[in-house]
Chain A
C-alpha cells in the first residue's frame, strides 16, 4: 500500500504529530473525592463535573462547570455548601442540597481579540474555609476571598515562588476546638495561645505562616523539598507534619517555628500523613504515611519528633499517592486503607491484638483490584442495605471513566459495592 503525500497532507501530518506528541493521551489528573461531615453524602469533582452521590450510588445532582475548564481539586463541604476550585482559577460555591450554583468567583481577565490576558490561576488543591474567609492555593500562591459579600471579593493575595497544590491549613482557637481537634481529650488541656494563622506549603519547597486577615508573612521555612500534599496537625503537640518530594516527612513545631525532626522515606511523599490515636496512654499517637515508591509507614510520635518505626511495608511497586485513610469497622477494628497507581486498593489491620501487642497490623486485610488507577483521596460512608443492615463503604475515585467513583465494602474483602461512571451532562 502506498500513500501519496501531497503538500497539504505533509503539513497536516507534521501538525498532528506535534500536537499528539505534545498532548499525550492520559488524563492530567484524577477525581477529587470528599464526604459530608456526617458521612452520608459523597462529593466528587472530575473533568467538567461535580456530583453529589448517596451511599447507595443514587445521584443527588450533577453540576457542570464552564466549557473551558476542568476540576482537579477536591470539593470542600462546609455548612451545606460545596466549594471547589477549577483549572481556570474560578471558585464555585454549590448548594449541597440542590446542586445549584450559589456564586462563582472568577479572577479578572481582559479579552484581547481571541485571547484572554491575565492570570491563569489553576486551582488544584482543596480550598479551606475559616470564619467568613475562603483560602485557596493556585498557580501563583495563595489568595483569600471575603465571603461576607456575595459574590466574594479578593481580600488579599500572597505570591509564592511556585504553585500551591495543597490545602491551606487555617488555625485559630475556634477552628482548633470545633474542627481540627474535636477529639482531643480535655484532660490534656491544650491551650494554643496563638494568633489565628494560615499555613501554606508550596511546590517551591517552603512553608509559609501568614496573617489570615492581611496575608502578611509571619514566618517561613525552607523544607528542602517540594510539597504537593496536605498538612497534618498534631493537636496534642502543636506540630505540623508534612511529606515532601525530597523523600522525607517533616515535623514542624509551630511555636518554635522550626523543623524539629525528619523521617526518611523510600520515595516522594505526596499524600499527607495521618495521625491515629492508639488508646495506649504510653504511646497515644502514631503517624501513618505512604510514598510513591509504594511503601506504607507507621511511626510513633515522641516529644522530640518521630520515635520508633513500627513498620514499613511495601504494598506495591507503583505509587501510593493519596493520604491513607484510617477507618473503623462496625466492630471497632481500625483499618488503614490506601490506593495505588497499580489499580488496587489495599486495607491493613491496625487494631492491636487482645494482648495489646500490634502483632497483626502488618497483615493485609484485603486487596481489591479496580478499573483505573486509585490515585484519588479516600473517604468512607455508611450505607443501609435493602435488608436494613448498615455496611461501611470505602469511597475512592479512579481515572477510568467507568469507575470515576467506586465504593468498596470494608468488611467484605473490599468487594465493589458499586461504581459510578463519569457522565458529562
Chain B
C-alpha cells in the first residue's frame, strides 16, 4: 500500500501547486478525481449486485419452499446462482480492490498535511517527483480551520454526519422490521440479518465517520464531505434519488427480497458498499458460501445473455446443463417445470 500512498501524496502535492496552493481545493479535486477513476469498478460492482436483485424473487421462493431444510436451501440457492451464471461474491471483488485506495486516500491526506515531525519526515521520502520541495509542507489554514487539527467548533464534523446521513438515507431502502415472530431456538432469518445490518449502517456509519472527523485532521473531514456529496450527486445523476427516504418514506415498489437492499447499497459510497457486501455474506447460508467460493471460476466465465430472446434460450441451455450436472435430476426437473 506504501507505493499507492507515495504516488497519491506526490499527486496531491502537484495538485496543491497547480491549484494556487489551496489545500482545500487540492483535497476536493483529488477526491473527485479518485472517485471518478474508481467509477468503472463501482459500476461493475453495482451491475453484479443488480443481477442479485433480479434473482431475489426466486431466492424468496426457495426460502419459503425449503424453510425447514437449511442444507437443502443452501444447495438450491447454489444451483440457482450457477444456473444464472451469478457469483454472489463477485460484487465484493471490485470493492475489495478499491479498499486499499480508500484507505490510502485517508493516509495521504494525513501524510501531506504533516502535523507531526514524523509525518513530515516521512513525507520527504514519499515524493516520487523532484521539484516539489518548495510546496512542502502545504499551507494548512483555511477560514477558521487549521486543516491538520480537528475543527475546534465541530462545524465540519456536523457536516460530515449530515452528508453521510443524507447519502445513507438516499441510497438505502426503507427496510421495515420483520413482523413474523421468531420461534425459540430458530436461527435468525438471513434476510432479516441483512436488513438489520442495513438499518445499522444508516445510523452507525454517519456516527462513525463523525467520530473520526471529531478526532482527526479537519482536512480529512473535507475529504469525507466531498466524498459524500460526490456519492449523492452520482446517485441523483443516475436518476435514483428518492428524497422521500430522508423522512423514512419510500416510493411503493413491488415486494422484493433483501437482495434489493444490497443492490441499492451498491450505489452507496465505497465504504458503505463494503458493509453492504458484508450483509450479503452474512445473509447467505454458510454452506452455500463455502461452495460458492469454490465455484467462482466456473460461474464467472459464463457469457451473459444479450437479448430477451437469447436470454430465454440461454436460460433453457443453462437449465439443460444444470440437469446434466446436478446430482439430483428430479429437483432440477421440478424447477424447470416451475419456470
Interface residues of chain A, those whose CB is within 8 Å of chain B, are 2, 4-7, 10-11, 14-15, 17-18, 21-22, 24, 26-30, 72, 115, 117-120, 122, 124, 139-140, 161-163, 165, 203-205, 224-226, 228, 245-247, 267-268, 270, 292, 319, 321, 341, 375
Which 10 pairs show the lowest CB-CB distances between chains A and B?
A: A10-B278, A28-B116, A21-B103, A246-B134, A28-B118, A7-B197, A29-B117, A246-B133, A120-B149, A203-B137
Interface residues of chain B, those whose CB is within 8 Å of chain A, are 103, 106-107, 110, 115-121, 124, 133-134, 136-137, 139-141, 146, 148-150, 152-154, 193, 196-197, 200, 204, 208, 212, 214, 216, 271, 274-275, 278-279, 281-282, 286, 290
Contacts of A15 in B (CB 8 A): 208
Within the complex, the shortest CB–CB distance from B241 to chain A, in Å, comes to 25
Contacts of A165 in B (CB 8 A): 117
Contacts of B286 in A (CB 8 A): 2, 4
Which of A24, A27, A139 is in CB contact (< 8 Å) with B146? A139
Question: Are A162 and B141 interface neighbours, CB within 8 A?
Answer: yes
Using CB atoms, name the residue of chain B closest to A321: B121
Chain B interface, >50% SS class: helix
Given A115-B154, A228-B120, answer yes or no on A2-B290 (Cβ-Cβ < 8 Å).
yes
How many pairs of residues, A versus B, come closer than 8 Å at their CB atoms? 111
Which of A7, A115, A118 is in CB contact (< 8 Å) with B200? A7
Within the complex, the shortest CB–CB distance from A297 to chain B, in Å, comes to 17
Contacts of A22 in B (CB 8 A): 106-107, 110, 212, 216
Within the complex, the shortest CB–CB distance from B3 to chain A, in Å, comes to 15
Whole-angstrom distance between the alpha carbons of A319 and B123 in the complex? 12
Contacts of B146 in A (CB 8 A): 120, 139-140
Using CB atoms, name the residue of chain B closest to A291: B124
19 intermolecular pairs with C-beta atoms under 8 Å apart: A2-B286, A4-B286, A7-B193, A7-B196, A7-B278, A10-B282, A11-B200, A11-B204, A22-B106, A22-B107, A29-B117, A115-B154, A120-B150, A122-B115, A122-B149, A139-B115, A204-B139, A226-B136, A268-B133
Whole-angstrom distance between the alpha carbons of A120 and B107 in the complex? 21
Contacts of B196 in A (CB 8 A): 7
Contacts of A6 in B (CB 8 A): 282
Given A7-B200, A10-B278, answer yes or no on A162-B140 (Cβ-Cβ < 8 Å).
yes
Contacts of B208 in A (CB 8 A): 15, 18
Given A7-B193, A7-B278, A246-B134, answer yes or no on A124-B117 (Cβ-Cβ < 8 Å).
yes
Within the complex, the shortest CB–CB distance from B180 to chain A, in Å, comes to 19
Whole-angstrom distance between the alpha carbons of A4 and B150 in the complex? 37
Interface centre among B106, B124, B150 (most CB of A within 10 A): B124
Which of A7, A17, A28, A117 is in CB contact (< 8 Å) with B119? A28
Question: Are B133 and A21 interface neighbours, CB within 8 A?
Answer: no
Using CB atoms, name the residue of chain A closest to B1: A21
Question: Are B281 and A5 interface neighbours, CB within 8 A?
Answer: yes
With contacts A28-B116, A118-B152 known, what are 12 further pairs, Cβ within 8 A?
A18-B103, A18-B208, A21-B103, A27-B118, A28-B117, A120-B149, A120-B152, A162-B141, A245-B136, A246-B133, A267-B124, A321-B121
Contacts of A18 in B (CB 8 A): 103, 106, 208, 212
Whole-angstrom distance between the alpha carbons of A224 and B136 in the complex? 10
Whole-angstrom distance between the alpha carbons of A372 and B286 in the complex? 47
Within the complex, the shortest CB–CB distance from A69 to chain B, in Å, comes to 13
Interface centre among B141, B152, B153, B208 (most CB of A within 10 A): B152
Whole-angstrom distance between the alpha carbons of A224 and B137 in the complex? 11
Given A10-B282, A267-B124, answer yes or no on A30-B117 (Cβ-Cβ < 8 Å).
yes
Contacts of B139 in A (CB 8 A): 161-162, 204
Whole-angstrom distance between the alpha carbons of A120 and B145 in the complex? 11
Question: Are A29 and B137 interface neighbours, CB within 8 A?
Answer: no
Contacts of B121 in A (CB 8 A): 270, 292, 319, 321, 341, 375
Within the complex, the shortest CB–CB distance from A341 to chain B, in Å, comes to 8
Whole-angstrom distance between the alpha carbons of A269 and B137 in the complex? 13
Whole-angstrom distance between the alpha carbons of A26 and B271 in the complex? 26
Using CB atoms, name the residue of chain B closest to A27: B118
Within the complex, the shortest CB–CB distance from A319 to chain B, in Å, comes to 7
Using CB atoms, name the residue of chain B closest to A24: B107
Which of B107, B118, B136, B282 is in CB contact (< 8 Å) with A26? B118
Interface centre among A14, A26, A124 (most CB of B within 10 A): A14
Contacts of B118 in A (CB 8 A): 26-30
Within the complex, the shortest CB–CB distance from A62 to chain B, in Å, comes to 23
Question: Are A139 and B149 interface neighbours, CB within 8 A?
Answer: yes
